[in-house]
Amino acid sequence: MAYKTNKEALNSAFAINTDGSIIPLKLVTQKENFKVEALAHLDLFHNYFYNIDASNYERNLEKALWLGNSSVDNLYRQKKADGVYNRLLQYSLVQKVLSIDSQIEEQNGTYAFRTVTIFEINRGSIIDTYELVSSGNLIPVDRNFPNNPHGLLITNYFENTLKKLYDESRKE
């Protein structure tokens, strides 16, 4: 009887509501929450990496680099070498993420993702909109709050395609 009570107690948790009532809580495994955590991780990363302007780009990119491995760092270094961030400063550009849509697929214990990010670049009188398709993998790592709150790491990150959709200055 003691064994049965102990086993039931380990599989049950309760919280007390503000009115004093008891709320049973269900323990869930991390795998059940993986998709939600992975989508949130990808959303956070893409916002940090692509939602940038002259005043926040250093802070946002530093946060983004915590969420990926060397493949993200290599892309950041390549963009820096190509002058992307210098142009951001020089022309006071504002790059704003409009939407992020990620798909996750499990393949033999690894998690592959494909993300479509729509963002606009405001150049003052001209606003251009772009669609970026990126892909990579996610691996579980130890959580590191606040740097990596979901305990996931982006690996094999690659910007597959970038295409201009339209610009606001030519709309009537």
Number of domains in the chain: 1
Going by pLDDT thresholds of 50, 70 and 90, the confidence category of residue 101 is very high
Ordered DSSP codes for 76-120: HHHHHHTTHHHHHHHTT-EEEEEEEEEEEEEETTEEEEEEEEEEE
| Any domain includes 92 | yes
Which residues constitute the domain of residue 63?
22-165
Burial class of residue 49, CB neighbours in 10 A (0-12, 13-18, 19+): buried
- Residue for token digits 């060397």? 70
pTM, to two decimals: 0.80
pLDDT tens by residue, 44-64: 999 999 999 999 999 999 999
Amino acid at 113: F
pLDDT tens by residue, 78-92: 999 999 999 999 999
| Any domain includes 17 | no
| Any domain includes 30 | yes
pLDDT tens by residue, 118-148: 999 999 889 999 999 999 999 999 988 889 9
- Residue for token digits 């606003």? 127
